Structure 1
Amino acid sequence: MGRQLWDADWEITKPLVQQLIHHQFPQLSSLPIQEIGNGWDNSVFRIGDDYVFRFPRRQIAVSLLRTEARILPKLENYITIPYSKPLFFGEGSEEYPFPFLGYTYLSGKFPIGISDKARKQSTVTLARFLKNLHAFPVTTAQQEGVLFDQRNLTDLAERKDKMLSFLDHLTLFITQEELNEIAEYLHGITLDRVKPQHVLIHGDLHFKNMLVDDTGKLTGIIDWGDVNIGHPACDLSIAYSFLPPASRHAFYEIYGEVDEETQILAQMIAVYIPMLILMQAINDKEEVIALEAKSIIQRAIANS
């Protein structure tokens, strides 16, 4: 395989992090450092018990991180759930060319392998969170440098073609019957494009950017690197990927009614994102993540 979407431009190592923290935030230099993981755009390290730092590993993430640093403090009166709040603002240097951010550490774990019963208890929390986030004034977001989404999310025909092409990469991990179910779902989408809508969105709301407690209840939202002004369906996809199908109606009762186009796009994104995560997990030989992504696809295409 050639270069992948998730390949890094810059390797973030523990010695590098120690060096950056020591030089820029010496008050933290005595604290232990633990690597938490790598996303597509950032590497994440826990510093002591109270802080977590994100370091861009791709050039494309730099402008996103700067925007995140400006907008996140403005959301405090809107967000109804704990979220990453930046406290330390690192600058590029000879050791590392990119800016980086340090946040309050949010306790919890990724919602991997949890039951439908556990997922259901977060229905109200998720609906209220997104209702308030999407009510944030777009003009204020623009003033803080938040850009309009450039991912062409509303082009369903193009996305469907991409997703059908992804199936060829999943044949070793998904049964033919499961592949047929996904293909049948995709071929059943006859809408080519939805009308643009503009609200402030998290932009990357999936299980690797959510935290839950030991009971599976949602406790925090992390990684706001893709925050932008775009179609609410991008975030509403969580109603299909995370919640069991039987909870979707209750979710929309709290969030508010949305048109059929929005629901179609939200469900489609709920399948698209875990397909990407599954391909990366297969490439990286992360079986637990691959199994979770596979189960999300099955949940997302299920009828309520």
Structure 2
Amino acid sequence: MGGSNEWDAEWEVTVDLAQELINSQFPQLASKTVQKLGYGWDNTVFKVGAEYVFRFPRRRVAIQSLTIEGKILPKLKDYLSIAFSIPLFWGEGTSRYPSPFLGYPYLHGEFPIGLTDEQRALSAITLARFLKKLHDFPVKIAQENRVRQDHRNLTDIAMRKAKMQAFLSKLALHLNEEEHRAISDYLEHLSMDRVRQRYVLLHGDLHFKNMLVDEIGRVSGIIDWGDIHLGHPACDLNVVYSFLPPHARSDFFKEYGDADEETKVLARLIAVYIPILIWMQAMDENDERLVAEAKANIFRALAD
């Protein structure tokens, strides 16, 4: 199958198919129920019993990412300070399903949707320590495990700005005058075309759909590492703007280490860009809850 949107699946994974693949390759899990949790651009996710979660690629482009993820994530266990998805089960493609798939321990928590600024601020130091350790991971080890280098060309601000202007025209009917002006003014005053490339190990897709929080709203888990790559730290630092309220950002940088101006410019750009994509997909799927959260992320990122 497939469609006209970037997030459309090339193949779907049903609960029955997931159960068949898991049971045939991991018979020790055969007694456990399989429940669909949801899907992103690249993977469909299923909970298996109360203990595990399995991710099945739904697009060909995700296969290489999943393979790299399976190799590098176990090597991060001594580096990271927030719980994350370490693969336990490596599934293989079959005549019924064309891709490998991975199983992980199930991480408890909720997506950070509808949090107050006070709840978000609780995670400033937590996120800073996590990203500092991740970005300090030895690049050589990542390269030895074939982690890709900036495959999305994220340092090209001019290209991403042009895409955002096109997105804005599509979203215009869903914005009031003040909201539209805030985004268009931001893009109009964005004069930097590109930043100097740097290479650190990145999660690569850090946003509210790939984060979990505990009962008080503090970040407790990071999931979906399919876009892990070597690239500019601003890619992950977008959460300083999209997730944290303005008054908590200085606390983050005190712990993480200060960032230069061009890093902050790129981080803010990505903090607006990613939620716009989430917003468009959520509108396509009539998910008003995600639409509201994505919009909140955008305008939080634009706030000083």
1:285 counterpart = 2:286: yes
Aligned to 1:298: 299
Distance in 1 between residues matched to 2:254 and 2:187, nearest whole Å: 27
Question: 1:172 Cα deviation (Å)?
Answer: 3.0
Q: Secondary structure at the match of 1:170?
A: helix
Distance in 2 between residues matched to 1:174 and 1:296, nearest whole Å: 14
Aligned to 1:221: 222
- What is the 5 A alignment of 1:209-248? 209-248=210-249
Deviations for 1:85-129, whole angstroms, at most 9, x for unmatched residues? 100000011111100000010000100001000000011000000
Aligned to 1:42: 43
Q: Secondary structure at the match of 2:109?
A: coil
Distance in 2 between residues matched to 1:159 and 1:107, nearest whole Å: 34
Aligned to 2:187: 186
* 2:9 counterpart letter in structure 1: A
Aligned to 2:121: 120
Distance in 2 between residues matched to 1:173 and 1:285, nearest whole Å: 13
Distance in 1 between residues matched to 2:158 and 2:291, nearest whole Å: 26
Aligned to 1:173: 174
- What is the 5 A alignment of 1:17-56? 17-56=18-57
Question: 1:39 Cα deviation (Å)?
Answer: 0.3
Q: Secondary structure at the match of 1:189?
A: coil
Question: 1:13 Cα deviation (Å)?
Answer: 0.3
Q: Secondary structure at the match of 2:84?
A: coil
Question: 1:28 Cα deviation (Å)?
Answer: 0.4
Aligned to 1:96: 97
* 2:172 counterpart letter in structure 1: T
| Alignment gaps of 5+ in structure 2 | none
TM-score, length-normalised on structure 1? 0.98
- What is the 5 A alignment of 1:190-201? 190-201=191-202
* 1:47 counterpart letter in structure 2: V
Question: 1:173 Cα deviation (Å)?
Answer: 2.2
Aligned residues: 302
Distance in 2 between residues matched to 1:24 and 1:255, nearest whole Å: 42
| Alignment gaps of 5+ in structure 1 | none
Distance in 2 between residues matched to 1:71 and 1:286, nearest whole Å: 33
Deviates more, 1:245-254 or 1:203-212: 245-254
> How big is the alpha-carbon RMSD for the aligned residues of Structure 1 and Structure 2?
0.8
Question: 1:177 Cα deviation (Å)?
Answer: 1.7
Aligned to 2:271: 270
Distance in 2 between residues matched to 1:286 and 1:214, nearest whole Å: 24
- What is the 5 A alignment of 1:1-150? 3-150=4-151
* 1:289 counterpart letter in structure 2: L
Question: 1:158 Cα deviation (Å)?
Answer: 1.1
Deviates more, 1:169-178 or 1:113-122: 169-178
Question: 1:214 Cα deviation (Å)?
Answer: 1.9
* 2:136 counterpart letter in structure 1: A
Distance in 1 between residues matched to 2:169 and 2:286, nearest whole Å: 18
Distance in 1 between residues matched to 2:208 and 2:84, nearest whole Å: 14
% identical aligned pairs: 56
Deviates more, 1:261-270 or 1:147-156: 147-156
Question: 1:186 Cα deviation (Å)?
Answer: 1.1
**Structure 1 ranges of 4+ moved more than 2 A:** none
Distance in 1 between residues matched to 2:267 and 2:22, nearest whole Å: 40
Distance in 1 between residues matched to 2:246 and 2:171, nearest whole Å: 24
Question: 1:171 Cα deviation (Å)?
Answer: 2.3
Question: 1:170 Cα deviation (Å)?
Answer: 1.1
